[in-house]
Amino acid sequence: MKKEIRITGFGGQGIILSGYIVGKAAAVFDGKQATMVQAYGPEARGSACSSQVIIDDNPILYPYHRDLNILAALSQEGYDKFHTLVRKDGIILFDEDLVEFDAPADVAVFKGVPATRIAEDLGRVMVANIAMLGFLVAQTEVTSADAMKQAILSAVPKGTGDLNMNAFERGFQHQPAEIVVGAGAGV
């Protein structure tokens, strides 16, 4: 089943790396087809950026979103820019400490995770993106947890594996309050 995912935030949060990891987890470790396209402002660190990932069992003929069903927002600016693109039965995951959302009535489900707080508790704010990836896998099953863990370990700097796995597990284990807005949920 085709999944269109956009991870958004600001430069320096590891948004592009997150998209790369999701695509690698799907393509290399789960044996699916995947594409990843990145976009960021010219200022890079601190400016808006996003990563578009498409995962499918079948060949992907067009690498850009046409029917976005999952948005993971790690910044207010990213949420504001992309939340209206999520389809009616889609899901929006957000960092509950950084994003205040104005829920569009036609998107089905919103779920928050304190990704930045998890990272701060672990002593490195730089792993907030990995906490979000754990939450993403737990809430949407876009890849298997094992595939995502392997992709993370293959992509992060040597010596940070334990820290990143702790961030992943904390995000994965987080039980959010679900905010159902639209008519039907399901991705």
Q: What is the CATH number of the domain that holds 78?
A: 3.40.920.10
Domain membership of residue 147 (yes or no) is yes
Give 144-182 pLDDT, tens digit per residue: 999 999 999 999 999 999 999 999 999 999 988 766 555
Q: What pLDDT is attached to residue 124?
A: 95
Q: Tell me what percent of the chain is helix, strand and coil, each rounded to the nearest 5.
A: 40, 25, 40
Beta strand pairing call for 3-10 and 48-56: antiparallel
Which residues span the domain enclosing 94?
3-180
Domain membership of residue 11 (yes or no) is yes
Domain membership of residue 185 (yes or no) is no
Domain membership of residue 88 (yes or no) is yes
Domain membership of residue 187 (yes or no) is no
Q: What pLDDT is attached to residue 185?
A: 43
* Residue pLDDT tens, the chain, 187 long: 899 999 999 888 999 999 999 999 999 999 999 999 998 766 556 677 999 999 999 999 998 888 899 999 999 999 988 988 998 888 999 999 999 876 655 666 778 999 999 999 999 999 999 999 999 999 999 999 999 999 999 999 999 999 999 999 999 999 887 665 554 444 4
CA gap 135, 42 in Å, rounded? 29
Q: For the chain, how many structural domains are there in total?
A: 1
Domain membership of residue 116 (yes or no) is yes
